[in-house]
A and B are shown apart, each in its own frame.
Chain A
Amino acid sequence: MACLSTSGRVACGSRRQQAHKLICRLFLNHSLHSRQSSQLVAGDTPGHARKYRATHNEQLARSFHGLSFGINQDYLSLLQTSHSCSQPPNLRSHSSVHTQQPAGPVREIQIDPYIILDDELKYFYDDVRDLLQSGTSQPELDTIACYYFDGQGKALRPMVTMLMAKALNYHLNNESHQLVHKQRQIALFSEMVHSASLVHDDVIDQSDFRRGKPSVNALWNHKKVTMAGDYILSIASIMISRLRSDDVTIVLSQILTDLVQGEFMQLGSRETENERFAHYLTKTYRKTASLIANALKATAVIAQADDNVAEVAFQYGRNIGLAFQLVDDMLDFVSSTEQMGKPTAADLKLGLATAPVLFACEKYPELNPMVMRRFSEPGDVERAFELVHKSHGLEQTRFLAKKHCNEAIRLAQELTESPYQKGLQVVADLVINRMK
């Protein structure tokens, strides 16, 4: 789903969304996308659910063939292994202090993070829009600022933030409403900062579509769009300052400096082959993972958790964020633009060498000069795309993402067991297995 993608340059089509829903059903027996339908499915009998699964497997295969002209067999088999390996308890090798494992692995127990957080997330976007509306007397500013808070996004950041908040509160044995309310403001902040960065990205990238609708820069004056991004940030900062916690403000302000530094790193770099991967990972941390990591840390700080617990929250968020972006970069090579029937490779077109390319460089050194010239010569994008698919770049990227997800799961297990703590582990699976 494009709304999840941090780069999010590609419009997401309904078919892809459908594929995503199917995947979600496969893993969770219900759709992430619409909670109403997911509740229905969750209530189904096991037999029914199995039937569901079987038919959707077929549909899934069909829709993949439809979508993916260039996807090689490798990737489909990779996909298949990915859902089979989400079932067996091969990850259980990580023991932890707090958890005594119940009979099966956590993910066989059907926890949908969106359902257990329904109270916090139900009116989430309404609250963001109310907040943005209360800060201005100018209707046009309000309209632009609220444009991406239409409830169509999947709200990954707020969901993970609230999940961690509630898991921490359970761990710390403090589940007061007041505290949850404050943590929810941190979740609002994470989504607002994310949207502000999308709004500014739109002006920078000049893309016409985002999340299946015209992007803000296609509809409004670019100067006003720029100002609307600043406006969202300022309102988010006012909201956070009202929590009256110096430490929370300091932790969250780190997100903003990281985001911009990440963008600057993306502008251009002349580092050697050895430094390139480290540069890529640092950039990924700053552009994507820092937001999640620091938002999660802030929920720990406001709950007055000790430094160790705050670090668990931070590291969990960092690993989830890195895995999320790695999967995103991988999907850029395997998803497709529906109408054109040709590869998106949006990152390549923007001149960016992401993990799959960097891995592929090891096998095909001819990619190195293309990386250096940012795939600017005719044929570069196509050639690089082909070589990435020939190499094991995608598998290696996925493997790296998987490692980060496993680490996230290990970290989540350091917290006291609760539905939320299990939810955190489910999220790690969602991230690695998502299809946009």
Chain B
Amino acid sequence: MNRVGAVIMQQILRQRMQPRQLQLCLDQVSPVELPHLSTFTQLRCTSTSTASNKQVTPPPRHDWNRAVSEAERIVGYPTSFLSLRWLLSDEIANVALHLRKLVGSTHPLMKTAKHLLYNGKNTMQAWGLIVLLVSKAAGHAPSIPDVEQDKSAGVLHSQRALAEVTEMIRISHLVHNSVVNLQSGTEAGQDATTYDDMSFGNKIGLLTGDYLLGHSSAELANLRNQEVVELISSAVRDFSESEFIGERDEQNNPLPFKPGTFQRPSLSVGVDFNEHDVMTPMPIGQVMGNPEQEWECRNILNAGSLLGKSCQASLKLAGQSEQMQRHAYRFGKHLALAWQACLDAESFQCPTLPLDATFSLVSAPVLFHLEHDPSLYKLLEPGKKSVDLIDYNQIHKAIVAGPALAKTKELQRKHTAAALSVLQHFPATDARQALENIILAMQDL
């Protein structure tokens, strides 16, 4: 969801700069950040992509930046401070020292770190902010003692800690995902000159991710609520599982299934986790071959699970009813999916792909287009070795000409509507209003 950060950044720039300046800056903070590509590819395109022509963007009816700063005011403070505590530890200072040795190398960890630190204020806050807003929107049971409450912000101290844990887990996943596959036989494992850098970068990345996971589990334990520990641990499980689904290239970037691999009737209802047993994994096998539901499952594991389960856990901490907790889960899930659809669509908004830009091969437009025209799969096959070998421009052209973008937009609207409708179960408060504003602003991006 760090892509949202770039989007927020864009909004800030849009507000504060003249159009000409804006265009220049937008080139640097490219919106073309795709969830399924390696962080490396993501950031490479961030830094090198040239202008995508955006001359016909209508003025937004709902302003994203205002929606976010309004929301921050409501939860009491800039949520970018959420993550400061772990940044100030000895271990992370140590990491920073070691990272200096990697400067100049091509290890994806460098890009991830740069990304997290440079855009820090904007990328880190989004999920924590949502968790806090949902917490405030739902309120808490009268049985919660006063000392547990952060009166000024209207959330519990435990909920604030949970929001931090959510961010730490998400970052830990991003960092662990920057590990480079150095198996012998892979391209990365061959090059002796960069091998040492890569190997050292993997070490630092692994330890940093483990540090964040370790600390989040300690923070979780201190919440003294085992149902919450169970739920959030299962979100960590979902993150790991998401990296195993379907075919992968050498660096574990995902590829779609060959059309016709699965001959299943479309299910009328989507699949989701078993409400009564968090240990049960997502039954993703049931939906393979149905582009929309396959996309949904992949992205629930990848994003919706943590946001949804954190919202749910936050309401558990507040002593809210099971039913309200389920609403919170569904809200978080649909919001994450709507966000993802919005980002997936972004690469296909303009008629030509910016130079060097790429997109995820399991993003919604690609999956929809494969359903519409299975012959596109031919173009994807070189990607089995490495997704870098694919002719992105050609695929982009085909998809833009087809119905996939419209279907993706439809998908986004569907999840936006679902998130808004589930929000109606929450009492009308300024926090709920803030959530609605964020959703509406996102829809207009």
Interface residues of A (CB under 8 A from B): 134-138, 140-141, 200, 203-204, 206, 217-218, 220-224, 226-228, 230-231, 233-235, 237-238, 240-246, 249-250, 252-254, 256-257, 259-261, 263-264, 267-268
Contact = CB atoms under 8 A, between A and B. Distances in A.
B210 interface: yes
Contacts of A235: 233, 237, 279
A138 B225 CA distance: 29
A259 B211 CA distance: 9
Contacts of B283: 137
Interface in B237-252: 237, 239-241, 243-245, 248, 250-252
Nearest to B176: A226
Contacts of B202: 203-204, 222
Contact of A135 (B179, B211, B237, B250): B237
B394 interface: no
A200 B248 CA distance: 21
Interface in B172-214: 172-173, 176-177, 179-184, 199, 202-203, 206-207, 209-211, 213-214
Contacts of B177: 223
User: 3 closest Cβ contacts across the A-B interface?
Assistant: A237-B233, A256-B214, A241-B229
A201 to B, nearest CB: 9
A237 B231 CA distance: 10
Contact of A249 (B91, B173, B221): B221
Contacts of A227: 176, 239-240, 243-244
Contact of B234 (A140, A238, A259, A268): A238
B388 interface: no
Contacts of B234: 234, 238
B384 to A, nearest CB: 13
Contact of B245 (A134, A138, A257): A138
17 contacts: A137-B285, A218-B184, A221-B252, A227-B239, A227-B244, A230-B209, A230-B213, A235-B233, A237-B229, A238-B230, A241-B227, A241-B230, A260-B210, A264-B90, A264-B91, A267-B94, A267-B207
B252 A138 contact: no
B368 to A, nearest CB: 24
Nearest to A261: B91
Contacts of B233: 234-235, 237-238, 241
B282 A222 contact: no
A244 B228 CA distance: 11
A222 B179 contact: yes
A192 B202 CA distance: 22
Given A135-B281, A221-B248, A263 B240 contact: no
Given A256-B213, A267-B94, A234 B240 contact: yes
Contact of A257 (B94, B180, B218): B218
A233 B218 CA distance: 13
A222 B279 contact: no
Best-buried of A140, A217, A263 by chain B (most CB within 10 Å):
A263
A223 B186 CA distance: 13
Interface in B216-232: 217-218, 220-222, 224-227, 229-230
B237 A136 contact: yes
A203 to B, nearest CB: 6
Contacts of A264: 90-91, 94, 207, 211
B214 A137 contact: no
A227 B279 CA distance: 17
Contacts of B199: 206
Contacts of B244: 136, 138, 140-141, 224, 227
Contact of A223 (B181, B225, B227, B230): B181
B236 interface: yes
Interface in B83-109: 90-91, 94, 98
A221 B217 contact: no
B94 A206 contact: no
A227 B203 CA distance: 14
B441 interface: no
Given A241-B227, A264-B211, A223 B281 contact: no
Nearest to A137: B281
B113 interface: no
Q: Which of B210, B214, B245, B283 has the most CB of A within 10 A?
A: B210
B41 to A, nearest CB: 14
Contacts of A141: 240-241, 244
Contacts of B207: 204, 260, 263-264, 267
Contacts of A204: 202-203, 206-207
A245 B226 contact: yes
Contacts of A218: 183-184
Interface in B141-177: 172-173, 176-177
A257 B230 contact: no
B229 A249 contact: yes
B284 interface: yes
B237 A224 contact: no
Contacts of B222: 250
A6 B154 CA distance: 47
A335 to B, nearest CB: 25
